[in-house]
Each structure stands twice: as structure tokens, then as C-alpha cells.
Amino acid sequence: MPKTATNHKAELSKPTSEPLLPADSEDSALTVRLNRYLKPQDVAQVWDAYRYAFQAHDGVVRKTGEPYITHPVSVACILADLHMDVPTILAALLHDVVEDTLITTVDIKEKFGQQVAELVDGVTKLDKIEFQSASQAQAENFRKMLLAMSQDVRVILVKLADRLHNMQTLDAMRPDKQKLIAKETLDIYAPIANRLGLNAIYQALEDLSFQYLYPMRFNAISKAIMAARGNRKEVVSKILDSIKQQLSTFNIEAEISGREKHLYSVYRKMTSKATPFSQVYDIYGFRVVVKDLPTCYLALGALHALYKPIPSKFKDYIAIPKANGYQSLHTTLFGPFGTPIEVQIRSTEMHNIADAGVAAHWLYKASDAQLTALQQQTHQWLQRLLDIQSESADSLDFLEHLKIDLFPDEVYVFTPKGTILALPKRATAVDFAYAVHSDIGNSCVAVRINHELAPLRSELHNGDHVEIITGSLAKPNPAWLNYVITGRARAHIRHFLKSQQSTESANLGERMLNQALRALQVEPHQISETHWQRLIRDYDVKSKSEILTDIGLGKRQSVMVAHQLLALTDDHLEKHNNLLGMSLDTITIRGTEGMAVQFAPCCKPIPGDPILGFINKDKGLVIHTHDCPSVRKFKLDPDKWLDVEWEPESTRLFKTNLNLTVANQPGMLAKIASGIADAGSNIDNVSVEEADGSAYANLYFTVQVKNRIHLAELMRGLRKIPDVVRINRTKGNVATNGKGANGKAASQ
């Protein structure tokens, strides 16, 4: 028969209230918890760790005024509530010993074993290393901790319990420190707890963060819920009785409980939907726990027969579980008095996993398929973290990608083979491609969504069937970074672009260095590997390629590198000491150098224009026209200018701007677009001034041409169109020229 339950794991949401006694006392909070599931010899091992930690922290007091040992004991209590194994409890008691005392991980390894030492090391901060900024230190700490977690997930369980107790005792900190820690908890730790399915810890961290970040809002919603609790008590009681009676009629055994949404989830709903508290009807929900999976659907049918369901508010997380392993049926019903009520239906096993998440591996030793699936999903997520960190250039990049990857809202889409992939909300086809495989992402050129071609930037929705089309010569586009959502996609795209830029810059740097060497009457092949190795050692770099890349990026001067190479060769030293200021040969610009050579947007040079090259740090070689206004201010630094010229036969297209004054008549834009196409040119962008009643209008185009001759042919063709009054080439951005005060720009 159905029965009502009211409480589970409430101790996770507040500090332990028992008086602190020695951990080896039979009455202590920790011992009581350990005796529920550990053998006496295991408990004795925990006592040894407690005494070791007590001695290490002896005389140290927390900001709350309590002995420091109260903190590791409280952390151990939180983990004991999850029935974690002995090494995890030992690591909880010892987690601050290495950081705050003279004891090392080697000492812990000798005393408690390799496993405990690795767990403690994973949690220990990097306080002894100096960083350039606090944000970099924080990011590197997360990076180390999460990499340790990818080897052993218990590291993050200890860290989450540590953070929960710190949040529970945050009153002792300064207000500015409170907000900083609360923000970090809300951004990183709470989403990780949610991602690992640790529901009780996740909700407690969110509510505590909410309390310190927005104390006035927290207090207002707390009071409103307290008032609503009294007003709605009779309604909740009536609904519970109705559900209990209905399930009994269908001979369904179940535990039924009324649950109250945690404060931050109520606040999040109010802000996301701009809803006042008075209209948030589902602050109370109901949970039905039955014996097995088939009974879940029987209970769902029984409840739909009792109250009418709201069709758009049904979610089957049993057929398609959440990424953290969570499974339940969610349905919203029209309850008595027209009040919408939310009901969750799940089996006992699903309920255990919903509470303990990844900790269920230690809490329940069963080997059922669901636990195996949860462990596999967790392993996949941890593997994605490893992928992201391997592609991230530094710890700040890694932290940014981690935050992106912790989005709680997900969409579920299907691969062509019917496999379900979970992606963050607003994920695009490019995110999907990288989720399948990095090679698929790097080579994707198009996508079919539900068997229809769609742009790669298309957002995916629940149930979409997605098929990626790849090309053997395709490569990532920098524009993808404007709309991809997942950390995995961003990390792979950035890694590819940096590698490509490095390769292209090295090639350009080699050409620039060769020009400098020839100006010094030395052929590049005369520089031996021995001379390069000496220079690599003098520069303290890893390879010759790194020096060439720095030249291409403008971080080193090719002339200086050439002289230093020659200085290392005894037979050239005296001969070339007087050639430091000698002018170099002209560098040929092909237009296909990629990111190593950029064409200045201020003047948009095309083949045939007289040009100069400006060495810009981190951007490489930037090409300007001789008459570009920017040249004047850069001429103050002549060492950064290079003589460049166009390669005679360039095959690529270059962008340039055209300004047309035309009669304000219907169809003019179409005539001009047709004329541009007839000349073998492409339109990259067009903007049109808004009509102001004048007989003439200005049109601004960015077109792609091969060279100045091609541009001249295009302009001659456009002049032949009737009602084209004036046409001229302009410098700068077409959108800026076109919009003015009243214009509107459009991309084509």
C-alpha cells in the first residue's frame, strides 16, 4: 500500500548540530555515521587518521573560533552520509594537512597508502606556486583538481564536501570574501555537483550561494515560502491523500512525499520567466517512488486518470536519462482548485541514484545495468574534460571551457545510427559534430537536420535527427567561435587555429629570415644545424620553428636574428658587423599565406595597389596601401616596416569597397547585383541608405575581385547601367560608410 515519506538526507543541507567529540568517541557524529555501514576495523583506521589530523592541526583555530579539526571532521561526516569508502573518509580528514602543515604527500603515502595520498594531493591547492594573477591561480587550481578527478572521481567528492562545509560556515568571512566564494561556488562547484548527480549537495550549495550573493532576495523569498507553506498546507495534504487513494485503487505500492523546491530554483524560475512569486504555483511538488520500472508507467496512467495532464509539461527521463544518470517521469497536472502540480515518478533504484548520483557506485554495491550506465556517462564526461584540457593553451582557457561545459539544461538529439547525444541548450550543428568526434568537427562543411539541409550555425532542439556532411579539404572556420556552445568544440577550434597560425607564421618567418640573410650576402643553406642549436639555446626556446614563428608574428626582428646567426659563425662575424642597417630584399605577397599575413581593413589592398608591410606583434604581417591614412602614424616606427610586393599571378579573390550613387528607382539593386555577377565578382556585403524622398540613393558594396584590372573592368561595366550616376572605390568598412545616421546595413 502507498505510504507517505517526508525526509531524506537533510543533514547535507546544514552543518552537523551534534557537539564535537573526539572522532574515536562512540558518541561522536562521525562515529555514529561510520558505524552504519563500515566494519569495526575500518572505523579503527578512520580513528587513526583523525588522531593524525588532530595532531597536525593542533592549536590552529578557524575564523569561526572553533578548533580547526572541526572542519575535516564535518567534511568526513558529509561523505559518510553518502556511505563513501574508507580511503575517501581518510582523505576528507587529511585533505588540509599537506596544504597547511609541514606534512607532505610522501608522509601520507607512508602512513595511509598510495590511494589516500593521491586523493589528498588532488584536493590540495597550488598555494606554493607563484602565479601572475589571482584568477590564473584559481584557474590552475581547478585544472589540477579536475585532472585528478578524471583519474579518480572521489577527488571532486571530497572537494564538494569541503566546499559545502565552508559555505555552511561562511558567516565568519568578510562580506567581500563571502560574495567572491559564493560566486565561485555558484559558477563551478554547484554545476559540478549537479553534473555528477549529487542532488542534495547541489541544492545546498545553490541555496547557500544565493543567501550570500543576494541576501535581501533570499530573505524575501524565504518569508514568502514560509507564508505559502501555511496557506497551502491544506491543499498539499488533500493532494497527497488523493494520490495515495488513487494508487491504492490500482494496487500500486509506492512511497509518496510532498517536496518543496529549494529557494534558488524558485528564484531562477521567477527571473527566467519574469514571474512574480504569487504566480509560481509549483513551489510544492510530489514524488512517487515505486518498486520497478514498469510500475512507473502504471503509476503515471493512474495519476493521469486522477487529474488531467498538461500535454506540454510531460518529460520522460526514463527512456532518455539526463547526462548525470538521473531518471524519472515528470508530469504536471491540473490539481484541485485549478492549481498545477508537478509529480515525479521513479523506481527505488532511480531514487537512490537521483540522491547519490555518481556516489551510488560506493553507496550501493549492486552491479545492475543502470549503475553501469551512470558510471559510463560519468567516465565520458571526465574524458571530455581531458580532451578540453589537452586542447586548451592555458588554465584560464580551460576554466572558461569548463564553465561552458557545465550548462545544466540539455537537448537530446539523434545521430544517423539512432544513438542519443546530450548537448547543452542552444548547441549548434558544429557542437554536435565535435561531440561525435574531433575529426568530424574539423572537417564538417554542411548538416542535415531532420533530413533537410541547414546552416552549420543552426541551433538543435530535442528529438532532432542530425547528420554531418564532411569534406576532405575542409578545416575549422574562425567564425564558428561566435556561436559554438560546448567547451569541447571551442577548445578544438582554438587549438586548430593556433596550430594553423603557428605553421603559417613559421613559413612567413622563414621567408623573412631568408630575405634578411641574403641581404647580408649569405645563403640560408650556409647556416648549419649547429648554429641553429646554439641560437635555440641562447634564446631559451624549444625549437627552430618557435624562432621562425616569432619572426612571422613580429615578436622578433628577422634582421636581428640573421645577425645573431652570423655572429655564431666565426668566419662571418667580422665581415658582417657593419651590415646591421642594410636594407632587405622585397618580400613577395601571394595572398594565400592565411592568418600569417592579414590585409588591413582600413584600406583593403588588392593586387596592383602599391603596398607596405607592417610587422604587428601577435598578428604577423599586416599589408597596407601606400596612401592608407594609418601609414602616417605607423611611420614613426620604421623598424617594423617591410618592403613587399604582389606576386604576379595571384589566384585568390580580395575584398574592396565600392560606393555607388544611383537613381532612386525600383529594381536598381537587382540590376547592379546582376552587373557585379556578370563581371565575375562576388558580393560580400551591401548596405543601402534609407529612402529620404531624394531622387538619388547611395549604395555601398563590399565586392571580391582578383586585382586592380579586374576592379576596373567591374566599374566600367557598372557605369554602363542606366541611372548609375557615380561610382568610386572607398576605403574602410562598408557598414560604417553605408549606415551614417539613418542607413541600415544588410549582409548578403
pLDDT the model gives residue 146: 65
Question: Is there a single domain that holds both residue 617 and residue 663?
Answer: no
Whether 599 has a pLDDT exceeding 50, the answer reads: yes
Other Cβ atoms within 10 Å of 622 Cβ, number: 20
Q: Angle, nearest 10°, between helix axes 487-519 and 544-552?
A: 90
User: Which listed residue (11, 24, 100, 467) is catalytic?
Assistant: 100
**Amino acid identity, position 444:** C
Question: Is there a single domain that holds both residue 635 and residue 549?
Answer: yes
CA distance 160 to 365: 22
Considering its fold, how many domains does the chain have in total?
5
CATH of the domain at 699: 3.30.70.260
CATH of the domain at 273: 3.30.460.10
Which residues, including other chains, have CB under 8 Å from residue 344's CB and lie 6 or more apart? 285, 286, 287, 288, 328, 329, 330
Query: Which tens digit of pLDDT belongs to each residue from 519-568?
Result: 777 888 778 888 788 788 777 788 888 888 877 776 777 777 787 777 66
Question: Is there a single domain that holds both residue 256 and residue 171?
Answer: no
CA distance 346 to 355: 12
Q: Is residue 707 part of a domain?
A: yes
Q: Angle, nearest 10°, between helix axes 175-184 and 199-213?
A: 140
Residue 412 Rama label (left phi>0; alpha psi -120 to 50; beta): beta
Question: Is there a single domain that holds both residue 180 and residue 231?
Answer: no
Count Cα neighbours of 728 within 13 Å in the Cβ-side half-sphere: 6
627, three cell numbers: 596612401
CA distance 206 to 221: 14
Query: Which tens digit of pLDDT belongs to each residue from 168-207?
Result: 999 888 988 999 899 888 888 888 888 777 888 888 999 9
Which of 3-12, 456-465, 579-588 has the weakest average pLDDT?
3-12
Question: Is there a single domain that holds both residue 354 and residue 444?
Answer: no
Q: Is residue 167 part of a domain?
A: yes
Task: Report phi then psi at 376, rounded to 5.
Answer: -65, -45
Q: What distances in angstroms separate CA 175 from CA 51, 130, 181, 206, 218, one per listed residue?
A: 34, 26, 10, 18, 16
For residues 42 and 323, the model is more confident at 42
Question: Is there a single domain that holds both residue 606 and residue 588?
Answer: yes
676, 678, 683, 689: CA torsion to nearest 10: 30
- Tell me which residue of 371, 341, 343 sits closest to 357, measured CA to CA: 371
736, three cell numbers: 560604417
Question: Is there a single domain that holds both residue 138 and residue 243?
Answer: no
Q: Which residue has the cell 565520458?
A: 380
pLDDT the model gives residue 581: 42
Q: Is residue 469 part of a domain?
A: yes
Of 485, 506, 533, which one is at a domain's C-terminal end? Answer: 485
Sign of CA dihedral 142, 145, 151, 157: negative
Q: Is residue 558 part of a domain?
A: yes
Q: Is residue 400 part of a domain?
A: no
Give the SS3 label for residue 14: coil
17, 23, 27, 28: CA torsion to nearest 10: 10
Whether 59 has a pLDDT exceeding 90, the answer reads: no
Q: Which residue has the cell 547543452?
A: 424
Task: Give percent of the chain above pLDDT 90.
Answer: 19
For residues 16 and 228, the model is more confident at 228
Question: Is there a single domain that holds both residue 658 and residue 638?
Answer: no
Find the domain containing 555 and state its range: 495-646
Residue 112 near residue 47, CB atoms below 8 Å? no
CATH of the domain at 450: 3.10.20.30
Q: Is residue 141 part of a domain?
A: yes
- Catalytic residue at 100? yes
Residue 430 near residue 477, CB atoms below 8 Å? no
Residue 475 near residue 430, CB atoms below 8 Å? no
Question: Is there a single domain that holds both residue 28 and residue 157?
Answer: yes
Q: Is residue 628 part of a domain?
A: yes
Mean pLDDT of 368-393: 56
- Count the residues in the chain: 748
CA distance 683 to 669: 12
CA distance 728 to 67: 80
Question: Is there a single domain that holds both residue 113 and residue 149?
Answer: yes
Q: If you write DSSP's letter for every residue of 337-392 in order, what string do you get?
A: GG-EEEEEEEEHHHHHHHHHGGGHHHH-----HHHHHHHHHHHHHHHHHHHHHHH-
Of 485, 517, 537, which one is at a domain's C-terminal end? Answer: 485
Instruction: Please give the helix or strand (H or E) that residue 709 lies within, else none.
Output: helix 708-719
pLDDT the model gives residue 216: 92
Question: Is there a single domain that holds both residue 43 and residue 158?
Answer: yes
Other Cβ atoms within 10 Å of 476 Cβ, number: 22
Q: Is residue 103 part of a domain?
A: yes
Q: In the structure, what pLDDT confidence band is assigned to residue 75 with cuts at 50, 70 and 90?
A: very high
Q: Which residue has the cell 500535454?
A: 311
Of 596, 622, 646, which one is at a domain's C-terminal end? Answer: 646
Residue 441 near residue 434, CB atoms below 8 Å? yes
420, three cell numbers: 542519443
CA distance 183 to 203: 15
Per-chain mean pLDDT for the chain: 78
Question: Is there a single domain that holds both residue 549 and residue 609?
Answer: yes
Other Cβ atoms within 10 Å of 264 Cβ, number: 24
- Distance from CA of residue 666 to its chain's centroid? 48
User: Which listed residue (11, 48, 85, 99) is catalytic?
Assistant: 99
CATH of the domain at 80: 1.10.3210.10
Whether 273 has a pLDDT exceeding 60, the answer reads: yes
Give the SS3 label for residue 609: coil
Mean pLDDT of 239-267: 86
Specify the pairing of strand 597-599 against strand 620-625.
parallel
Sign of CA dihedral 560, 566, 568, 570: negative
